[in-house]
Structures are given as structure tokens and as C-alpha cells.
Amino acid sequence: MKNKSLLFLIFVLIIPMQMFAQYEKYLLKDPEPKVYRQGGVAFSVVELGTGLGGFYSLPLKHFWHVGFAADFFLLRDENQIDIVDPWTGIPVTINKENNAYVMDLTVSLKKRLLARKIDDSLRPFLAAGMGPMYGINFPIDKKKKDEYRWAWSVFGAAGVDIALESMYFLGLRLQYHVIKFNKSFTGKTDHSTFDIRLEIGKFL
């Protein structure tokens, strides 16, 4: 009877230990997704121009980030054509009417998706944000006045961050900005646009 009791006690102790050992192996194989502060530089291609900027974001609970970004954009005219003279190799611009530049500051929220369902190196997300935007335009026609305009920008985005070695990551997102200037800027007030944004960053 004593032997049976001893065997039962050993059985009761060993089974939970085995289960815990299996759980430890599972955790080592598939650890909890990590969350970091993020910072880096970004390059944007919008419908009528290009941009360069920087960003910094702080982690919140449940795989949310709050981010801050500043960008500088060089805009093209809608009918502007840029070519290279095949005989001289010199760049030639046709139908250029403005020298327009835009700067913005944005605050955003980013939500990581599928954090516990796919590999930690692949981090799809949705994001949304808003902020002030300031535009400066120096028309080619000297008879026209220079333009200095304010606007609010609101955007939504979908993209993915890909974790690389040494705590770096590469991010790619598609954004849509709703931009309405307070007065006409380069001939219109509505400068809403799609934006393909490439980010090179570091987990901090």
C-alpha cells in the first residue's frame, strides 16, 4: 500500500514538472514579441514630389506606439515635365511654374497587427496621425507674389516593419494624406495625396 502511495505521489509530481518543462521549451522556441522605442530617417514619394524626414516613437501597451515625425517635401507642378537632353545630357524642365516646398510635423498612433501569430521579425501595422503643415512657394513668374500658407494634414497608413540584424529595421508604408491649405497654394487649396514612405530605423 505504501509503495502504491509512493508511486502515486511521484506520478503527481512528475507530470506537472514535465508539462512545465514543455512550456519552457515552447517559450524559448516562440518568445513573447518584443516592443522597443524606434527612431530613424524616412524617404517619401508623393504624387507630385519627394520628401525626406525623421521619426521617433514610444511604445505603449498592447503593441501600440505613439510617434512624432518631421518631413520636408519638394513639390512639382502638375504639368511639369523633367527630361534629360539626349545630345547634351543636361536636365531640362518644361512647364515649371512654381518652386514649392512643404514642411510638416505630425503626431501619430501605430498599432502592430498579428504580434503573436507571425514571426517577430515581420511586423505589419496600421497607423493614423495628424499635424500642422507649412508651405512656401516662389513662383517663376516674378509678377506673382510669394506664397506662405498653413494647413492641417490628417493621414491613414498601412505597412510593415521588417526587423534586421543589430537592432535595425526597414519599414515600408502606404499613406494617404488629406491636406487643405487655408488659401490657394500653387493654384489650389486641396493638396491631398498618396505617399509611399520608406523608413530606415533602429530599435532603441
DSSP conformational letter for 28: H
Residue 52 above 60 pLDDT?
A: yes
Contacts of 195 (CB under 8 A, 6+ apart): 44, 45, 46, 51, 155, 174, 175, 176, 177
Task: For residue 156, give the amino acid letter.
Answer: G
Residue with cell 511604445: 59
Residue 22 above 80 pLDDT?
A: no
Residue 33 above 90 pLDDT?
A: no
Answering whether pTM is above 0.85, one says: no
Q: Average pLDDT in the 33-53 region?
A: 93
Cell of 166: 543589430
Residue 131 above 90 pLDDT?
A: yes
| Average pLDDT of the chain, as a whole number | 87
3-state secondary structure (DSSP) of residue 23: helix
3-state secondary structure (DSSP) of residue 186: coil
Given this model, what pLDDT does residue 31 score?
Answer: 66
Given this model, what pLDDT does residue 2 score?
Answer: 45
DSSP conformational letter for 34: P
Given this model, what pLDDT does residue 20 score?
Answer: 45
What is the percent of the chain where pLDDT is above 90? 63
Contact assessment for residue 132 and residue 152, using Cβ atoms and an 8 Å cutoff: yes
Q: What is the C-alpha to C-alpha distance for residues 73 and 54, in angstroms, rounded to an integer? A: 12
